[in-house]
């Protein structure tokens, strides 16, 4: 059997971080089993449809490195469909759903319902008052064929409902939660076809998954209670149901469902802040899944090799931004300075630190200042605060501690010797940057923090910070000399 999994989101706007994890788990399992991963668009709820959402969705998935084998793609700015089981957009499959709903109605497994919204609201309210679970009361179940035809001819609005069998246990196996049994007394006569002619999720997903030969349905645990309705449909059609996998919810630190009210939840939020895709994917994989070994850093290939549903937790996974920052910092450190510089440029321009002319004429310098500070970044957009030390030649001291360090008796001579060494070279290169403190120690006899801190304080206004060698290379000879002279004249 060829394993086939699908990610089937609705085009409702941004891609939630929980949706990305669902896509990731589908993708990892498919690849682990050398199977196929499909992208299908479930757009039957036309009230929630957002123009351009499909393109944004595909862009977010592509950026994340979660690339599907068949389904919907964007080529030359247009949506195209590839694969043998299309269409892959539900709104283009209405003729298919009609064939299967007609089959259910003919066999008595589904029925027309003409109840108004007002009547349904009244029934539900009465059931609540009686302490019952609100469910459809089957008012229209036994309408005759003639009555149905007469109402349709009169253009009365209707839906088509599933006829749920009475008092029957529906049992299925969930790859995460094990054996689950739900009695049909708890299952409502679900609407299958809405009044606008579009199928509901519960009907379309069964037809689509069967026709597309989906072997594993992987989705959020909020869909767990709807699974019996779908299994009833599989039974009515005489189809074999796929294996179900219901994933734990992604939670915030307060153990509540992660929502936009608590801050960033869209994939684009993290991308725009300067989180690297490999860091976000690596971290998301761990939110609800635990590897066999006590390991936290994974490439996508390593995740494919190790991933399995038997190590997915039954309880919600907490999305911890601090942990994400730690992982992202690791990947930023590993990335090339050029890559981080390109990601940082919009922030540096917006903050007024560099101009478009700098990008064109001084890109190498931008790379140098980024290289000096990138190991200190949790995400790229933090960079503006870290690189301010590279701008201007009049250094402001960060605090009294720096001022006190520069006031020590030996500092003036130390800095004057430093200036002499600077003036003896054409420019600061790696050789100079790597040896200058040894030279100063030899010539002045000063060592340890009494050597390093005054030089750093004079050059940057701080006693702690990025690698001094990288700072000196990025500042260059003339700017460094100007800064040290300024410190001697104004702070010593």
pLDDT in tens, 183-203: 999 999 999 999 999 999 999
The pLDDT value recorded for residue 258 is: 84
The topology under which CATH files domain 335-390 is Helicase, Ruva Protein; domain 3 (1.10.8)
CB 159 within 8 A of CB 191: yes
Is residue 483 within 8 A of residue 459, CB to CB? The reply is: yes
Sign of CA dihedral 217, 220, 221, 225: negative
Active site residue 260: yes
Q: What is the DSSP string of 304-351?
A: HHH--GGGB-SSPEE--HHHHHHHHHHHHHHS-HHHHHHHHHHHHHHT
Residues of the chain with pLDDT under 50: none
Distances (CA, A) of 240 to 199, 200, 232, 244, 427: 21, 21, 11, 12, 74
Would you state the pLDDT for residue 263? 67
Report the candidate in 176, 193, 220 with the shortest Cα–Cα distance to residue 97: 193
Cα(383)–Cα(377) distance, integer angstroms: 7
Specify which residues 70 forms β-bridges with.
38
- How many CA atoms does the CB half-sphere of 176 hold within 13 Å? 23
**pTM given for the model:** 0.92
Return the H-helix or E-strand segment holding 75.
Answer: strand 70-75
d(CA 477, CA 393): 11
The dihedral region occupied by 263, where left means phi > 0, alpha psi between -120 and 50, and beta the remainder, is: left
Q: How far apart are CA 58 and CA 395, in angstroms?
A: 47
Structure token pair of residue 193: 């076809």
Q: Look at the domain 400-491 and name its fold.
A: Arc Repressor Mutant, subunit A (1.10.10)
Do 87 and 70 touch, CB atoms closer than 8 A? no
DSSP annotation of 217 reads: E
Alpha carbons 297 and 276: distance in angstroms, whole number: 14
Among the options 253, 260, 407, 447, which is catalytic? Answer: 260
The domain limits of the chain are: 4-90+250-318, 93-209, 335-390, 400-491
What is the sign of the dihedral through the CA atoms of 446, 451, 455 and 461? negative
pLDDT value at residue 142: 96
CATH code of the domain occupying 93-209: 3.90.800.10
CA atoms of 363 and 349, how far apart (whole Å): 13
For residues 338 and 366, the answer to whether their CB atoms sit within 8 Å is: no
Question: Does 4-90+250-318 match 335-390 in CATH topology?
Answer: no
Residue 362 CB coordination number (10 Å): 14
Rg (CA), the chain: 32
70 touches 82 (CB < 8 A): yes
Helix (H, G, I), strand (E, B) or coil at 131: coil
Q: Which two tokens stand for residue 323?
A: 């942990």
Is the bond preceding residue 160 a cis peptide, omega within 30 degrees? Answer: no
Domain 4-90+250-318 belongs in CATH node 3.40.50.620: yes
Task: Give the number of other CB atoms < 10 A from CB of residue 226.
Answer: 16
Measured from the Cβ of residue 380, the count of other Cβ atoms closer than 10 Å reads 25
């Amino acid at each position: 059997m060829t394993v086939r999994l699908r990610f089937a989101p609705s085009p409702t706007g941004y891609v939630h971080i929980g949706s990305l994890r669902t896509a990731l788990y589908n993708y990892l399992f498919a690849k682990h089993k050398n199977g196929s991963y499909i992208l299908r668009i479930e757009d039957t709820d036309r009230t929630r449809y957002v123009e351009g959402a499909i393109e944004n969705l595909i862009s977010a998935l592509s950026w994340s490195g979660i690339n599907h084998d068949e389904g919907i793609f964007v080529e030359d700015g247009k949506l195209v469909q590839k694969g043998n089981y299309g269409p892959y957009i539900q709104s283009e499959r209405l003729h298919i759903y009609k064939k299967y709903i007609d089959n259910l109605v003919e066999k008595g497994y589904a029925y027309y319902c003409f109840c108004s919204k007002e009547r349904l609201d009244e029934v539900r309210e009465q059931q609540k008052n009686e302490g019952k679970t609100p469910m459809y009361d089957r008012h229209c179940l036994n309408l005759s064929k003639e009555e149905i035809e007469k109402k349709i001819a009169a253009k009365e609005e209707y839906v088509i409902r599933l006829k749920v069998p009475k008092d029957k246990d529906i049992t299925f196996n969930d790859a995460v939660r094990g054996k689950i049994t739900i009695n049909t007394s708890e299952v409502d006569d679900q609407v299958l076809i809405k009044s606008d002619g579009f199928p509901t999720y519960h009907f379309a997903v069964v037809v689509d998954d069967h026709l597309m030969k989906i072997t594993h349905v992987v989705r959020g645990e909020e869909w767990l209670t709807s699974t019996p309705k779908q299994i009833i449909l599989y039974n009515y059609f005489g189809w074999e149901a796929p294996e179900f996998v219901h994933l734990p919810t992604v939670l915030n630190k307060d153990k509540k469902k992660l929502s936009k009210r608590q801050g960033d939840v869209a994939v684009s939020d993290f991308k725009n802040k300067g989180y690297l895709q490999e860091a976000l994917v690596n971290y998301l994989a761990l939110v609800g899944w635990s590897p066999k070994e006590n390991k936290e850093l994974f490439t996508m290939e390593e995740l494919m090799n190790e991933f399995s549903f038997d190590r997915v937790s039954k309880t919600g996974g907490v999305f911890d931004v601090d942990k994400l920052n730690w992982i992202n910092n690791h990947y930023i450190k590993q990335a090339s300075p050029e890559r981080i510089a390109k990601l940082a440029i919009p922030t540096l321009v917006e903050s007024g630190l560099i101009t478009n002319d700098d990008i064109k004429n001084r890109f190498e310098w931008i790379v140098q200042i980024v290289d000096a500070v990138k190991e200190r970044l949790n995400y790229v957009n933090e960079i503006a605060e870290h690189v301010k030390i590279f701008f201007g030649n009049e250094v402001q001291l960060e605090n009294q501690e720096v001022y006190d360090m520069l006031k020590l008796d030996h500092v003036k001579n130390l800095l004057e010797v430093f200036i002499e060494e600077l003036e003896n070279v054409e420019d600061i290169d790696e050789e100079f940057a790597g040896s200058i403190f040894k030279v100063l120690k030899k010539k002045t006899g000063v060592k340890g923090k009494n050597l390093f801190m005054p030089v750093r304080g004079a050059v940057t206004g701080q006693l702690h910070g990025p690698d001094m060698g990288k700072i000196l290379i990025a500042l260059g000879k003339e700017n460094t000399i100007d800064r040290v002279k300024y410190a001697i004249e104004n702070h010593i």
